[in-house]
Amino acid sequence: MASKLVKKILIATDGSEYTKNAVDYGIDMAKNTGAKLYAIYVVDTAAFASIPMDAAWESMYELLKQEGDEATKYVADRAEPEGLEVDRLTVEGHPGEEIIKHAEKNQVSLIVMGTLGKSGLDRFLLGSVAEKVVRNSKIPVLVVRGKKS
């Protein structure tokens, strides 16, 4: 059943356990609406702005890119058994800004994200990335709580 409202869904992931529930929601919505699926991971380069470019930074950057590839692959692997393809994207920048920018550029109908955040402080609140996206996006945002361990 194709939806007139939801044609493209962007699943934002940081690869953490907290986003897995959101991935499931996004895939289920795409399956039920016939929407095209995108998965995005943002390497937060703002976190490295004060660190000089050296071998340690390059190594950390490569690890984060690898984490992004694994996070978006997880979305694709979960979608495949449902007969869905996923356009995977790993980008650099501030996560909230990049998620919104990509969603607007691709005329996404819905952003699905978990209470993203790997630090204790982010988990205490909604999540600084999720909060920024909810407050600034012109596109509807579905924020899904992670499953309790």
Query: What are the structural domains, with CATH classification, of the chain?
Result: 8-144 (3.40.50.12370)
CB 143 within 8 A of CB 132: no
Which strand (E) or helix (H) includes residue 123?
A: helix 120-124
Instruction: Enumerate residue ranges in the chain where pLDDT < 50.
Output: 120-126
Percent residues over pLDDT 70 in the chain: 82
Task: Give the whole-angstrom CA distance, residue 82 versus residue 62.
Answer: 31
pTM of the model: 0.87
Of 13, 1, 9, the C-alpha closest to 30 is 9
pLDDT for residue 145: 84
In this structure, what token pair is assigned to residue 132?
A: 């920024």
> Which residue has tokens 């205490």?
124
pLDDT for residue 120: 47
